[in-house]
Amino acid sequence: MRITVQKYGGSSVQSETLRQKAAGHVKSAMQSGFKVVVVVSAMGRMNDPYATDTLLNLISEGDSALPKRERDMLQSTGEVISSVVFTNLLIAEGLKASALTGKQAGFRTTEEFGSARITEMDTRHLRKRLEEVDVVVVAGFQGESESGETTTLGRGGSDTSATALGAALQAEFVDIFTDVDGIMTADPRIVGDARPMKTLTYTEVSNLAHQGAKVIHPRAVEIAMHAKVPIRIRSLSSASNGGTLITTAQTHTPGSDVREGLVTGITYVRRITQVIVPKQQEDMQAASVIFERMAAEGVSVDFINIDPTSIVFTVPEGKSQLVEQNLNDMNYPQKLLQGCAKVSAVGAGMTGVPGVVSRMTSALYQAGIDILQATDSHTTIWVLVRDEEMHGAVNALHGVFHLADSQNHERRISE
């Protein structure tokens, strides 16, 4: 049995017209000889009747009396509704289709309500349904704990549902349908000449996702990478199988497209606060004490630089007041700079290559952009800039690495 998994997010099943387009992709896969497993998110976005945020607005966000268990029961219903509505459309189109909840599809999870992790996939029931019908539509974002409780998988849960099913079913592809033509070299709303990339490795996409790219969640990429299931990021509006193929570097066939450029893409994260704590020479444990307190308060710290005179790190802007209060409680003076953005250049091609940082800093200097902080890893270089300079920084870096010119970053490989 040849199986492919297709995932449709909330914006892809928001209206009857969009659901018809999705049904067209299902039919196309069937015509190619596949049994199709469809994973759907709740329909639409905020203010749409059955979107997750709309459902949560039925309860008071400020009412902490409602346990997370009941919140999961509520917010999991949007995907169930979506799965039944889409199944109804497929049946009306003459297809043999069936809907399953996450529990029925075999998702076993931890009992961390709102952010459960998948512990096991038992797809026996799903496989049996696939023998009886052509399409099984699964409610994404949800599962069942060992004790039988309904759980949700947190941010990116439907992406994670799709790749977990792809891995468990040994699918030939997991197709993630979006409103863009694939993963872009930068946000096209900011960079006018951003272009879609044909092929990326799992590692490159995971890095892009961790650094702010919104097309796919990094948890989903990691599952697919371990199972070696190819992912395709495709446009709902396109009838072709184009878009971006995510796979291992070793699986490229002769003649496939592979980049040889230093940098794959430019991403950004906004609404960041930089925290600078002057360091007393005699206080050798200051960093350890501060970061232990941040962890205890549930504050995620990033962009850490420690030198003999200061401890510098960043936090989400929404945590600024909490960080300031805790540092004051510990008698650590501090300077907080709100309204920052982290801009990242990601690419496996930069590993071991000298001069990449100098090209970045020169490009930003020539654009008149002040670098507040910088650090790097083997495959990513980050700079912190003021939020109002983020657009200029992204465009400057996209330009200096010639990412708009596909000829500079792709070559034909032949044996």
- 63 carries a ligand binding annotation: no
Given a cut of 70, whether residue 176 has pLDDT beyond it is: yes
pLDDT tens digits for range 193-205: 999 999 999 988 9
Q: Look over the chain and give the mean of its residue pLDDT values, rounded to a whole number.
A: 91
- 349 carries a ligand binding annotation: no
Structural domain spans, the chain: 3-258, 265-406
- 52 carries a ligand binding annotation: yes
Stated as kind and residue range, the H or E segment containing 296 is: helix 286-296
Please give the C-alpha separations between residue 276 and each of 135, 222, 288, 327, 388, in angstroms, as whole numbers: 55, 33, 15, 11, 20
Strand order in the sheet with 118-121: 118-121, 107-109, 142-145, 150-152
- Of residues 414 and 273, more confidence is placed in 273
- 8 carries a ligand binding annotation: yes
pLDDT tens digits for range 113-161: 999 999 999 999 999 999 999 999 999 999 999 999 999 999 889 999 9
- 215 carries a ligand binding annotation: yes
Task: Give one DSSP letter per residue of 69-129, joined into a string.
Answer: HHHHHHHTHHHHHHHHHHHHHHHHTT--EEEE-HHHHTEEE-S-TTS--EEEE--HHHHHH
Q: Which two tokens stand for residue 409?
A: 């970053």
Q: In this predicted structure, what is the pLDDT of residue 213?
A: 83
Min mean pLDDT across 240-254, 289-303, 311-325 is at 240-254
| Residue burial 209-243, b: 16+ Cβ < 10 Å; e: rest | bbbbbebbbbbbbbbbbebebbbbbbbbeeeeeeb
- 79 carries a ligand binding annotation: yes
Residue 243 amino acid letter? G
User: In this structure, what are the phi and psi dihedrals at residue 359, rounded to the nearest 5 degrees?
Assistant: -65, -40
Superfamily classification of domain 3-258: Acetylglutamate kinase-like (3.40.1160.10)
pLDDT tens digits for range 359-379: 999 999 999 999 999 998 888
> Region 155-181: what's the mean pLDDT?
95
Q: Note if the pTM is more than 0.85.
A: yes
- 297 carries a ligand binding annotation: no
CATH for 265-406, options being 3.30.380.10, 3.30.2130.10, 3.20.20.20, 3.75.10.10: 3.30.2130.10
